[in-house]
Structure 1
Amino acid sequence: MKQSNLYTATKTRALAASAAAVSLAMVTGSLALSTGAFAATVTNNDHPHGIDQNLIPAYETMPPVDAQRTIDITQGLRDWSPDLLLAKGLANDDMHAYTADDYARWNSIPVDMIALYGAYDGEYLYLMWEMSNPTDVVEPNNIWALNNGKLNESTTRDYPFFIVISTDNQNKDAPPTDKTIENNAKTADGKTIWDSGNEFTQGATSIVAIHSSLGNKETKIFYGGKSGLNPVGEDAEATVNAGSGILHDSSVNGLLGFGKSRKSTEVQDPSTQNKVIDLSTVHHDISKYDFHYQVQIPLSKLDTTVDDIKVHGLGVQVVSTCSAFNAIGTDSLPYDMATKTGLEKGHGNAKFSAPFAILQ
């Protein structure tokens, strides 16, 4: 079903999700990755430039990355390299991993992000994120998730990804502009993008929505301003690709356990750092179960240029979901505690607030 409008009439239960990363406060050159609330300018976004998520060290957002490079996304991972890493997280930390309802978990799959990379050239922004299906070592008797857990190969599931972009000045003291989507990226009447229940409080300038199914070529971009998100998107002219394998194919850091044995706040508990292991050491099959997505988006659709990025930076957060409709975020890079919202009984909107990863 095409989702060309902001809202959808159908809602299904949101299950599962993915892994990712949130930020360290770092300064490189003239750009600062902020971990505090924006104090210099009054705006009606809750957390301009984002707030620290208080995560364990395994989650990391890199300092602003010098990422000017052309990527051919039709050539698998050939053109990507470790120096283009924007954010990293852990496997087995998405909403699927924390779902205590066995029936729900056994009828869902992980949507688990573990690393985000980025680059740009004179025409495009390029993003690549790696994903893991750790079911083989976490819950191997969950046959459905084991055999159907590679979202890029699914013929029955088509979940949105939301790519949240800021082309405003990424310096922590920079004020919003007339391109900044305020009202936490809700519409003037309080609706959210694709009726997803996701709010973005950091001051985005556009949000690109794509599909996990490569057979669905629809890509939309939404803009906004002082009154919030424009409810009508336009063609993003983006290209999406996906495939098996990840850049670091010899190790995947993650956590063990699932369901009732897990606490959703564990990623903020310092003792959890000691529980992080390389899942390949307990025989996780990376080549069989892990995969990636790539996307290229014209800079012209993002209303920016190479020179603008070099001077002001470009901020990004990618959010994965686990339902075609009512697609509340279930994982993100940089990692955001908002991805735990769907676990709460009678939950409201998920309010994303992690500082953006920055390309410059």
Structure 2
Amino acid sequence: EYWFKVRAVNANGASAYTASVFATPVGTTPTATPTPTTTPTPTPTSGPGTRVGTDHSVALYKTNPSAQVGKAKTITVDGVASEWTSDMIIAQGVANDDPRSFRGTHEGPVYDPYALYGSWDDTNLYLMWQFTNVTDVVDPAQNYPISDNGKPYQANIPQALAFDVNSRGGDGIVTADEKGVWGMRYDFANSEVDHLLMFSSKPNVGEPAVFALNASNEFDYAPANVTAFTKAGVSFAYGNGFVGSQLMGVKKNGYEGYTPADLTNPANFVDLLQQGHSKAQDTIYEMKIPLTALGINRSYLEANGIGVMLISTFGESAIGSLPYDPTTLDNATKPYTADSSTSAEKEDYDSFTAKFASLGK
């Protein structure tokens, strides 16, 4: 599977490159796994206060539920989630919808994003996201992910936060190598991304950084366009536990015939806390981002709002996002090349079409 860009060249010069095009070699075309999705609708041009893309809310998936856009509140980023409340949720997912749920429940760590929260004050933006790990009730025979090996912070795995802050935007591809930042196998079909925060699920490793667009509306690794978290003032922490009174998911696994299509029917969902799930299996992450790192202030945020998406990977390809996007499950039931007992979603190429969650307005 490949991405490529093309341009026309003649004696008068060369045109600009097209948007990224995705192709699969003849004879290897995958059959897409049915995933919960909605009919795409025309989208407006990206700009301050305007979110572009498709709202893939279906069944229990929600983007800006009840029109919530977070709220003004200062958060202490310490891995304790007690300051976050349900009215701060800007994207709602479900439990047990990461690719391993459909093929490979024995695998860990578990990156199953459940809810994304947001707040702000005069100087900072604050985000919190909830990871769930409900292996203990959907497939209790799998001891490995139920142990500490299931915790997201046990492995050095790339994660990302994508932002739509202003009227500029790109598709997320680094032209020099035709892959995403850090070699990720995903792009943004709506070309709305103007800032990317790249970091590991394991704090204090690697070189986490804020990436901004260059003059050509592309991402690169030039020092002028990349700011380390330490210099930008970005910090994050993790903690164990679950925030909320209900934890909704489908109580099945791939060995029992569970497929992404089951996620489209609200009747399939149950409160997994009532099924005996232990909240100790779950994990939260909190992050503080100075508004200056995104080139804005509080007045701008509250007048226009910004868009945000959380993306989880297992090393290369996206395996989950908030807001939900069906591209993270389109190959979930297919075998991974290096280990057929696990999901090909870890290695496929994804193109995000989901409308980002609005924060601030």
TM-score range, shorter chain: 0.7 to 0.9
**What residue is the counterpart of 1:165 in the other structure?**
163
Letter of the 1:51 partner, please give it. Answer: T
Gaps of 5+ in 2: 1-35, 336-343
2:43 to 35, 38, 41: 38
Q: Does 1:309 align with 2:314?
A: no
What CA deviation, in whole Å up to 9, does each residue of 1:54-111 have, x standing for no partner? 5224444322525221111126123222221111111100111122xx5xx4233321
In 1, distance between residues paired with 2:235 and 2:44? 38
**What residue is the counterpart of 1:255 in the other structure?**
250
2:82 to 67, 78, 82: 78
In 2, distance between residues paired with 1:75 and 1:134? 20
**What residue is the counterpart of 1:319 in the other structure?**
311
Q: Does 1:188 align with 2:175?
A: yes
| Contact 1:22–1:61 (Cα < 8 Å) also in 2 | no
Shift of 1:144: 0.8
**What residue is the counterpart of 1:12 in the other structure?**
none
Gaps of 5+ in 1: 1-20, 24-34, 169-176
Segment drifting more, 310-319 vs 252-261: 252-261
**What residue is the counterpart of 2:134 in the other structure?**
134
- Residue 71 of structure 1: SS of its match in structure 2? coil
- Residue 77 of structure 1: SS of its match in structure 2? coil
Question: Alpha carbons of 1:22 and 1:165: their partners in 2 closer, same or farther (altered >3 Å)?
Answer: farther
Higher relative contact order (CA 8 A, sep 6+): 1
Structure index of larger Rg: 2
**What residue is the counterpart of 2:107 in the other structure?**
107
**What residue is the counterpart of 1:331 in the other structure?**
320
Shift of 1:226: 6.8
| Contact 2:252–2:258 (Cα < 8 Å) also in 1 | yes
TM-score w.r.t. structure 2 length? 0.76
**What residue is the counterpart of 2:22 in the other structure?**
none
| Contact 2:57–2:63 (Cα < 8 Å) also in 1 | no
In 2, distance between residues paired with 1:123 and 1:275? 43
Shift of 1:314: 1.2
**What residue is the counterpart of 1:52 in the other structure?**
55
Moved over 6 A (4+): none
| Contact 1:208–1:219 (Cα < 8 Å) also in 2 | yes
Q: Does 1:88 align with 2:85?
A: no
Shift of 1:246: 2.3
Shift of 1:40: 5.5
Alpha carbon RMSD of aligned pairs, Å? 2.7
Question: Alpha carbons of 1:58 and 1:338: their partners in 2 closer, same or farther (altered >3 Å)?
Answer: closer
Aligned length: 300
**What residue is the counterpart of 1:67 in the other structure?**
71
In 2, distance between residues paired with 1:117 and 1:351? 24
| Contact 1:133–1:150 (Cα < 8 Å) also in 2 | yes
TM-score w.r.t. structure 1 length? 0.76
- Residue 292 of structure 2: SS of its match in structure 1? coil
**What residue is the counterpart of 1:200 in the other structure?**
188
Structure with more of its chain in strand, by fraction: 2
Letter of the 1:136 partner, please give it. Answer: D
